[in-house]
Amino acid sequence: MGVTWDDLEVGTEAASRHFGPLTRTDFVRYQGASGDFNPIHHDEEFARGSGFPTVFSVGMLQAGILASFATDWLGASNVRKFGVQFREQVWPGDELTCSATVVGLDEAVRTVDLELLCTRQTGGTAIKGTATFVVG
Amino acid sequence: MADQSLVGVTDEPFELVVERGKIREFARATMSTNAEYIVEKVPVSPPTFLASSAFWSPPGNSVFSKVKLDLKRVLHGGVEYVFHGPPPAAGAELTAQTRIAEIYEKDGKRGGTMTFVVSVQEFRDCDGNLVAEARNTTIETARPPADGKSRTATEGR
């Protein structure tokens, strides 16, 4: 990975990245990968019967997308913490934008703290996250 | 109301193996473009990969079978993964065990009471060293999520 300690300071931002439009196939692919087969994410009848207009994404899918965004930037082996809070639901056709900002650095142990955000095309927040990476 | 005496309750520990093909599948499903997950012979796992440990858990083992929540009102509030070193790599043989760490309540903005259940799943290597933890927050809302138009996990905060 190209990013080094000297490239980072408080306020440094990763180049934001767009994902989607998300499809029902994306939901199903994630459900197969993770083993979470809650039908509300792929079974139209079940979702409507539960009062939703249609199926909606697995929260852990957008969490995984945000995690991919972060590890694509600072390296798969370097992550030490990754956390998310779920906010708005994500629907078929949604386009997500992931962004990351450095909010702290610890020179002694060479770690960097990030604030992460995954927003929908509406501007609404799908996920807020935090992460800690070691950086060489 | 959830039973406070359930704090500390654990499930049965189970073994899991981190597999290269599963890492590739998971990295693709979460739209990673990082070659490390694909090209490396012994790739590390993605940050949220341990969610797939559910494949290794014996049926009926979930601690949530012991916490009496109304599943129609349950939302996933959030999750945090902590790694005590690089994330587990392909070939790692781990033992996982989940415990109920906290149960607390908050008043919902639209009335009623929300119950928060925090579970912590620990992943240990063959020598018993803690290599990763997953801290999940599960929310039982005051009424079913489908009761409104597009409810979110944060309502009531």
State the pLDDT at residue B4.
Answer: 81
Q: What is the total count of domains within chain B? A: 1
* Candidate from A32, A51, A68 with C-beta closest to B34: A68
- Within 8 A of A81 by CB-CB distance, chain B residues are 80-83
ipTM of the complex: 0.95
Kindly report the nearest CA distance between residue B139 and chain A, in angstroms: 11
With a cut of 70, say whether residue B144 has pLDDT above it.
no
Which DSSP symbol is given to A89?
-
Specify the DSSP element, H or E, that contains A80: strand A79-86
- Within 8 A of A130 by CB-CB distance, chain B residues are 80
Residue A106 near residue A76, CB atoms below 8 Å: no
With a cut of 50, say whether residue B115 has pLDDT above it.
yes
Query: What three-state secondary structure class fits A70?
Result: helix
d(CA B44, CA B131): 13
Kindly report the nearest CA distance between residue A78 and chain B, in angstroms: 6
Distances (CA, A) of A23 to A16, A29, A30, A57, A120: 21, 10, 11, 9, 14
What pTM was computed for the model? 0.91
Domain ranges within chain A, ordered by starting residue: 5-134
d(CA B155, CA B113): 12
Residue B7 near residue B53, CB atoms below 8 Å: no
Q: Which domain holds residue B117?
A: 4-17+49-147
Kindly report the nearest CA distance between residue A40 and chain B, in angstroms: 11
Residue B94 near residue B88, CB atoms below 8 Å: yes
Is B25 a member of any domain? Answer: no
* CATH class entry, domain A5-134: alpha beta
Round the average pLDDT of chain B to a whole number and report it: 87
Kindly report the nearest CA distance between residue A20 and chain B, in angstroms: 10
Is B154 a member of any domain? Answer: no
- Specify the higher pLDDT residue, B72 or A132: A132
A2 and chain B in contact, CB less than 8 A: no
Is B54 a member of any domain? Answer: yes
Q: Which of B48, B63, B125, B127 lies closest to B91, judged by CA?
A: B125
How would residue B27 be classed by pLDDT, with cut points 50, 70 and 90? very high
For B33-66, write each residue's pLDDT tens digit: 999 999 999 999 999 999 999 889 888 888 887 8
Is B152 a member of any domain? Answer: no
Task: Tell me if B30 and A131 make a contact (CB, 8 A cut-off).
Answer: no
Is the Cα torsion angle A105, A111, A115, A118 positive or negative in sign?
positive
* Candidate from B34, B78, B146 with C-beta closest to A71: B34
Read out DSSP for chain B? ---GGGTT-B---EEEE--HHHHHHHHHHTT---HHHHH-SSPBPPTTGGGGGGGGSPTT--GGGTS---GGGEEEEEEEEEESSSPPBTT-EEEEEEEEEEEEEEE-TTSSEEEEEEEEEEEE-TT--EEEEEEEEEEE-SS-GGGSSS--TTTT-
State the pLDDT at residue B143.
Answer: 73
Q: Is A78 left (phi over 0), alpha (psi -120 to 50) or beta?
A: alpha
* Candidate from A34, A65, A83 with C-beta closest to B31: A65
- Specify the higher pLDDT residue, B145 or A81: A81
pLDDT along chain A (136 residues), means of 10: 88 96 98 94 94 96 98 96 97 98 96 98 97 94
Is B29 a member of any domain? Answer: no
List the CATH number of the domain containing B102.
3.10.129.10
Mean pLDDT value of segment B87-111? 92
Is B128 a member of any domain? Answer: yes
- Within 8 A of B25 by CB-CB distance, chain A residues are 32-33
CA atoms within 13 A on the CB side of B3: 11
Report residue A104 as tokens.
Answer: 């702290």
- Within 8 A of B33 by CB-CB distance, chain A residues are 68, 72
State the pLDDT at residue B157.
Answer: 28
